């Protein structure tokens, strides 16, 4: 699975969207014809970035995207997510249409390289993108990750091995890591 180069929206773009239930709560998905643009937790922490327009924002600003509700268009994405939560999928096969700076895209590609059930530190990711002292910048790129779970920023932990910083909250981060690690343990106990 590869991310597309950063895309700048110059006109209003239609993105297909849906909200689905999962074991970690409702998830909002949006996709362009090129791939998944966003996977967000329905409940967000204060100040957390979102692709969705704020319904309370009544200013007449130009919006870059409009959303068309379409369960059918998002069906392949939802299907793979359901398989992931059921412990039947370790990698996602659908395309991504990630939009960010070159540095953010490099960080997100490094996240995609973290194997299922494993973790890396912010320092590990900083070294992987050629910025060994840039662990704080990596943290900010993770914070801007538009496709939670699929771009697995939940697999990034503090250098001392503790959980820290996750847009869905630390409980969801722990649940995702527990899910993956339980599947890894099950595989080693039953290699059939």
Catalytic residues: 153
SS3 call for 120: strand
Q: 122 Cβ partners below 8 Å, 6+ apart?
A: 135, 136, 138, 139, 142, 156, 158, 159
DSSP letters for 38-103: EEEESS--TT---SSPPTT--S-PPPSEEEEE-HHHHHHHHHHHHHHHTT--SS--S-B-----HH
């Amino acid at each position: 699975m590869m991310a597309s180069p950063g895309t700048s929206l110059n006109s209003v773009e239609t993105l297909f969207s849906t909200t689905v239930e999962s074991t970690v709560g409702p998830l909002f998905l949006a996709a362009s014809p090129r791939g998944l643009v966003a996977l967000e937790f329905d409940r967000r922490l204060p100040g957390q970035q979102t692709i969705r327009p704020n319904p309370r924002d009544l200013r007449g600003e130009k919006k870059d995207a409009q959303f068309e509700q379409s369960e059918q268009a998002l069906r392949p994405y939802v299907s793979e997510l359901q398989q992931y939560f059921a412990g039947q999928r370790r990698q996602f096969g659908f395309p991504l249409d990630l939009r960010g700076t070159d540095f953010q895209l490099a960080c997100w590609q490094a996240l995609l390289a973290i194997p299922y059930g494993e973790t890396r530190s912010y320092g590990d990711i900083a070294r992987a993108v050629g910025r060994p002292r840039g662990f704080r910048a990596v943290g900010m790129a993770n914070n801007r990750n538009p496709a939670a779970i699929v771009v697995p920023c939940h697999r990034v932990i503090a250098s001392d091995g503790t959980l820290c910083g996750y847009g869905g909250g630390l409980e969801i981060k722990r649940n995702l890591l527990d899910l993956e690690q339980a599947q890894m343990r099950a595989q080693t106990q039953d290699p059939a």
